[in-house]
Amino acid sequence: MKICNDSSRIIIVEDDMSAATMLKKILEKCGHEVVAVTDTGEDAIEKSSSLKPDMVLMDISLGGKVDGVDAAREIFKRFDIPFIYITGGVDDDTFERAKETMPFGYILKPFNYNILVSTIELGLYKFRIEKDLRESEKRNQTMLSAIPDIMFNLRPDGSFLRRGEADLAKNVWSDAIAQKAMPSIKQVVKSGEPRIVEYASKKGGVVKHLEARILKSVDGSALVIIRDITERKNAERELMEYKETLEKKVEERTQELSKINHSLLEQIQLRQQSEENLRLFSLAFNQSPYYALIVDKNGMVLYVNQKFIELSGYDMDELLGMNVQEAGNPVLPEPELWRKMAQGSRWHGEVYGLAKGGSLYYGLASVSALRDEEGEATKYVILAEDITRQKKEQLEISKMREILDKSRVDQIDMDMDWRDWKDKMMSRNISRTDKSLFRNINNSFTQGAGFGALISLLEMMSSSAEQRGDKHLVESSIFELVKSNMGIAMTAFKMFSNIDWIITNDFQLEKATFHELYDLVNVAIGEVREYCAIKQQTIIVSDFNYQYSDLTLNLNREYMSKAIYEGLINALKFSKKKTYITVIVFVSGINVEIAILNDPEKGDENLYGIPIEYEKVIFEPFFRLSKLVFEQYRTLDFGLGLTLVEKIVTKHGGEVVARNILDHSDLKREPVVKVNLTISLPIIRQ
């Protein structure tokens, strides 16, 4: 018998008093406190307002003006109190309304003690997690709303990618500016290297200075981020003007003092003013979102701001005096890069540094020279945006591509030698495979969907029926529950029939480009991205290779989208927390391939990933490597996902393979197991 981990205050809303009484006893026996029992929606709302329970158990089919669905919706909306529905079966319309309220669980009549306790604990846990997530999203939204930048996407020809973006950008992006930025846009789309275009915009007699930061998006378009740098430009201009004025005043004052031997006090005051200006200058740099350095012409670090101290991990005293021309320095580890920076008045590009803890950080830098009266550069100001996260994702994709390529070569070299071994392994483990398959079918048909409850109710009906002659009398409540669960089971069978139709019927293939397939992958990633928060995972995808833009293949977009979606969901469900799901779309020989790689969790048999003997059987219907149910992902969990992928890919004339590969990239540790699901689709030969 399951015991509650935490005691909770609960209100029961049930118009069947016998059922309510039984439920109250079960809850109190478990350790929960039932603070109220009521049979109407109106009273439930009132009691929720006054008693503030931790959970409300709500009968869906309440009588009166306010039924269970409306009452639950109102309680959650007004008081933020989670609720679980009690049901013995409802009509389709009511059930659809109930689903829209997004309950935290369902309890079926008659009550099962262990299921009841688990459902309440899971409901409370889900509510706490979602509440924390809402608060986190609210904080993130607040931070995002404070960013003043304007962002929009442009096609390679300079036109806006989406409707509405032209209105958004009309005040900062004119045709003349677009024409000026066109060479940079084309270069970004072609090479992927970011570009910065600075320009001035005059409207109503007011001049604004703007900076357009142009980056390449994953869909091949150019992402343009417009930032108003008027204050910065004005500050720079004023700073230079002030510097010139200050130097002029100092010169004039010096000449004047030499002539009239003015008082020393005036010189001190002038020095104090200069120091105050320098203090303000330092304050502005320290509060900048960019990291900043000032380096003299000999490469010695004269100043760093707080952002750079935090990023590098070094103290101010450690950084000041470092020389970026010396090999191995952590600020600019490649002295040759510094020499390139110092060749002209301005320089833009990527830089990297070595943090004190040993990790690398990356920046998108802008370098400006400060010149003396003779025009000689005496100091250099380096302002850089931290792009460490983006760079690490690019490196992760590159690493996964290398691992994938190596695994393919290794697989070709080893296939012939391993074939006999794998045949023996398969024959030795066939009973184990069959056992796992039948175990998973059993789990699938008893985990819910009406099957397990239906069997239990039939047993109850058989044992409690009263025989009268050649007939048996059955309690009406049990009979109604049998009908209800039979309906749920029939719905599940209809679901299987729909899947069977997809598997057994042909569908039309149309000619599509490699780029359209790449877009299809990105759409599927967008659809599953909401589930990344469950385990704090990140999906990254390789850049599009324009070398293969003209390649074509036969494709059914609807079904291939389903296959890619199922592959991504499968990777999310069976991956470790806080890991990357890497998607690589590439051309291999006569095929276009979509590789989905993930870091697997340890399975039911204490192994990582997919054992060799399961590489083929994993695509069989109802086969599952884990008996866990992943309700948060809203999937069937009947072991049909990879079956669907395999059937769809086969009907495209392609092949899907799922196997373990080894990551040897870190020589300091043992190789790490990755799971690689690769979909191969044939290219149409020209």
Residue 359 has pLDDT above 50, yes or no: yes
Vertex 400 angle, CA 397 and 406, to 5°: 145
Residue 593 has pLDDT above 90, yes or no: yes
The tens digit of pLDDT for each residue in 38-61 reads 988 899 899 999 999 999 998 888
Please tell me the predicted confidence (pLDDT) of residue 433.
Answer: 44
The tens digit of pLDDT for each residue in 466-479 reads 778 788 788 887 77
Confidence grade of residue 597 (pLDDT, cut at 50, 70, 90): very high
- Give yes or no on whether 150-228 and 395-428+507-682 have one common fold: no
Burial of 534 (0-12, 13-18, 19+ CB in 10 A): middle
Confidence grade of residue 90 (pLDDT, cut at 50, 70, 90): low
Q: What topology is assigned to 9-145 in CATH?
A: Rossmann fold (3.40.50)
Please tell me the predicted confidence (pLDDT) of residue 580.
Answer: 93
The secondary structure element, H or E, covering residue 621 is: none
Q: What topology is assigned to 150-228 in CATH?
A: Beta-Lactamase (3.30.450)
- First-to-final CA distance of the chain: 67
Q: Are 301 and 320 in contact (CB under 8 A)?
A: yes
Amino acid occupying residue 606 = N
Residue 34 has pLDDT above 70, yes or no: yes
Can you count the helices (H) and strands (E) in the chain? 19, 23
Confidence grade of residue 602 (pLDDT, cut at 50, 70, 90): confident
Six-digit token string for 63: 């009588």
The tens digit of pLDDT for each residue in 480-534 reads 777 766 765 665 565 567 567 766 777 899 999 999 999 999 999 999 999 999 9
> Does residue 293 or residue 287 have the better pLDDT?
293
For 604-608, what is the mean pLDDT? 71
> Does residue 321 or residue 168 have the better pLDDT?
321
Tallying the residues shown for the chain, one arrives at: 686
DSSP 8-state symbol, 102: -
Q: Are 11 and 38 in contact (CB under 8 A)?
A: yes
Six-digit token string for 355: 């943090």
CA distance 115 to 108: 9
Residue 320 CA, chain-centre distance (Å), reads 39
The tens digit of pLDDT for each residue in 251-272 reads 888 788 777 766 667 767 777 7
Six-digit token string for 60: 């869906």
What are the sequence ranges of the domains in the chain? 9-145, 150-228, 395-428+507-682, 446-505
Q: Are 507 and 556 in contact (CB under 8 A)?
A: yes
> Does residue 341 or residue 137 have the better pLDDT?
341
CA distance 317 to 542: 41
> Does residue 416 or residue 321 have the better pLDDT?
321
Q: Quick check: helix, strand or coil at residue 346?
A: strand
CA distance 23 to 8: 14
User: At which residue do the structure tokens 């994993």 appear?
Assistant: 618
Confidence grade of residue 628 (pLDDT, cut at 50, 70, 90): low
> Does residue 53 or residue 408 have the better pLDDT?
53
The secondary structure element, H or E, covering residue 523 is: helix 514-528
Q: Are 307 and 289 in contact (CB under 8 A)?
A: yes
User: Cα dist. 160→156, 166, 167, 365, 497 in Å?
Assistant: 9, 6, 10, 27, 44
The tens digit of pLDDT for each residue in 543-591 reads 999 999 889 999 999 999 999 999 999 899 889 999 999 999 999 889 9
From 330, 327, 247, select the one nearest 293 (Cα to Cα).
330
The full DSSP string for 110-172 is: SP-HHHHHHHHHHHHHHHHHHHHHHHHHHHHHHHHHT---EEEEE-TTS-BSSTTHHHHHTTT
For 407-417, what is the mean pLDDT? 54
Average pLDDT score, the chain? 81
Residue 80 CA, chain-centre distance (Å), reads 27
CA distance 270 to 250: 8
**CA-CA-CA-CA dihedral for 323, 329, 335, 337, to nearest 10:** -110
Please tell me the predicted confidence (pLDDT) of residue 427.
Answer: 47
**Which CATH number fits the domain 395-428+507-682, given the four candidates 3.40.50.970, 3.30.565.10, 3.30.70.930, 3.40.50.300?**
3.30.565.10
Residue 636's φ and ψ, nearest 5 degrees, are -70, -40
For 450-463, what is the mean pLDDT? 65
The tens digit of pLDDT for each residue in 181-224 reads 889 888 888 888 999 988 888 877 888 888 989 998 888 888 99
CA distance 171 to 165: 11
Confidence grade of residue 639 (pLDDT, cut at 50, 70, 90): low
For 609-624, what is the mean pLDDT? 74
* Strand 55-59 to 83-87 pairing: parallel
Six-digit token string for 175: 């045709």
Q: Are 14 and 22 in contact (CB under 8 A)?
A: no
Residue 417 has pLDDT above 50, yes or no: no
